[in-house]
Amino acid sequence: MVSLGLVFDQLITGLTIGARLFLIAVGLSLIFGVLDVLNFAHGVLYMIGAYAALWAIGAVSIPFIGLLGIGFWPGLVVAILAAGLVGVLIEAGFIRRVYDREPLDQLLLTFAFVLMLTDVVKTTFGSGSNVVDPPGLLAGSLTLTSSLSLPNYRAFVILMSIVVLAAIFVVLQTTNVGRLVRATSSDRDMAALLGVNVPRLYTVVFFVGAALAGLGGALAVPTQSITPALGNQVIINAFVIAVIGGLGSFAGAFVGAYLVGISIAVGSLIVAGAGQLIPFIAMIVVLLLKPEGLFGGAEA
């Protein structure tokens, strides 16, 4: 009784979810790949991007500062900067001090930021749900056939994820940044001995990773209901994706995100609750068969 229209709709929904998740997972994977830090706060950075966009749009206000209200498109920039800067604060201000400790110490440090930043956002914006419409430019949808139509905004979000992936590859191909990053991630101290300013490199990487999450959050605003709990809802899925794709692999994050996004949307058609179960089962299977992930071991 599952109609083609429904499958199509769920596919589009799944792709939208996948695109959002990609933007979180790719930054998570990037940061892990380079800094060897599993950034628990990455979901929160996504959430901060979402709130920054809401604020820029004028949907929420900050106490003593008020509304910004500059609209959706400038809002994307605000979100990227906000999340990126918070990321820099976390990295340069704190994680940097514990790089030579056990990985778990860094993980817990980011966990501390999950707790604190969630509370800060809650206090600033309240804990209610926030919902807004897509920007006017992208309202409406593309009619494909009489029963199939593709909402413009969703198409845009999916496109953005592809653009980001392409941009990453272009940067890696055309510069020697990728090599430097890989060298540093495999032996930080030796890289410093060769002259790499490791702290600065790390900060830049963290900024980029965080900014991507911020972009994801901002893009999610018109399709998701935004609450301070958003960060915690997405982070586990982002882990799943990063692991399935292969920690440190961008293409892996892309494929993983779309697999998970689609399984969340389409899985629920098969068995109720399956949408939730599939990602974890997938992660177990991938880990057992190919622990380094589908694209693990591949270049950057």
Region 184-213 residues binding other proteins, contact defined as CB under 8 A: 186-187, 189-198
Q: Which stretch binds other proteins (CB under 8 A): 74-82, 128-136, 159-167, 206-214?
A: 128-136
Structure tokens at 146: 């009489």
Residue selected from 34, 227, 250, 255 as contacting other proteins according to rule CB under 8 A: 227
- Identify the H or E element spanning 276: helix 274-289
- Report the distance separating Cα 126 and Cα 123, nearest Å: 6
- Interface region with other proteins, contact rule CB under 8 A, candidates 69-77, 81-89, 207-215, 235-243: 235-243
Contact between 133 and 139 (Cβ < 8 Å): yes
Q: Label residue 66 exposed, middle or buried (CB < 10 Å: 0-12, 13-18, 19+).
A: exposed
Q: Is 38 in the site for other proteins (CB under 8 A)?
A: yes
Residue closer to other proteins (CB basis): 77 or 198:
198
DSSP H helical ranges for 62-102: 72-93
Residues 45-84 that bind other proteins (CB under 8 A): none
Q: Name the residue type at position 75.
A: G
Q: Distance between CA 46 and CA 224 in Å, rounded?
A: 12
Helix or strand or coil: residue 99?
coil
Contact between 116 and other proteins per CB under 8 A: yes
Can you tell me which residue has the tokens 């020697």?
176
- Contact mark string toward other proteins, 256..275, x via CB under 8 A: --------xx--xx--xx-x
Burial of residue 90, with CB atoms counted within 10 A of its CB: 0-12 exposed, 13-18 middle, 19 or more buried: buried
Please identify, using beta-carbon distances, which residue of 166 and 175 lies nearer to other proteins: 175
Q: What sign for the dihedral angle of Cα 113, 41, 155, 171? A: positive
Query: How many C-beta atoms surround the C-beta of residue 229 within 10 A?
Result: 15
Residue of 103, 107, 129, 102 whose CA lies nearest to 47: 129
39 interacts with other proteins by CB under 8 A: no
Q: What are the tokens at 4?
A: 């083609």
Binding residue count for other proteins, defined by CB under 8 A? 87
Backbone angles phi, psi at 66, to 5 degrees: 90, -155
Q: Which of residues 237-256 bind other proteins (CB under 8 A)?
A: 239-240, 243, 247
Q: Which of 29, 39, 118, 249 binds other proteins (CB under 8 A)?
A: 118
The nearest distance, CB 212 to other proteins, in angstroms, is 19
Q: Which of residues 85-114 bind other proteins (CB under 8 A)?
A: 94, 97-98, 101-105, 108-109, 111-114
Handedness of CA 92, 205, 182, 295 (dihedral sign): positive
Of the listed pieces 72-80, 121-129, 157-165, 206-214, which binds other proteins according to CB under 8 A? 121-129
Q: Which residue from 119, 144, 162, 170 is in contact with other proteins, where contact means CB under 8 A?
A: 119
**Residue 85 or 122 with smaller CB distance to other proteins:** 122
Restricted to residues 144-183, the positions that interact with other proteins (CB under 8 A) are 176, 179-180, 182-183
Helix axes 274-289, 230-245, angle to 10 degrees: 30
Considering only the stretches 78-86, 160-168, 252-260, 285-293, report the one whose residues sit in contact with other proteins under the rule CB under 8 A: 285-293
Binders of other proteins among residues 3 to 22 (CB under 8 A) are 3, 5-6, 9-10, 13-14, 16-17
Least separation in angstroms between CB 170 and other proteins: 19
- CB of residue 233 to other proteins, shortest distance in Å: 6
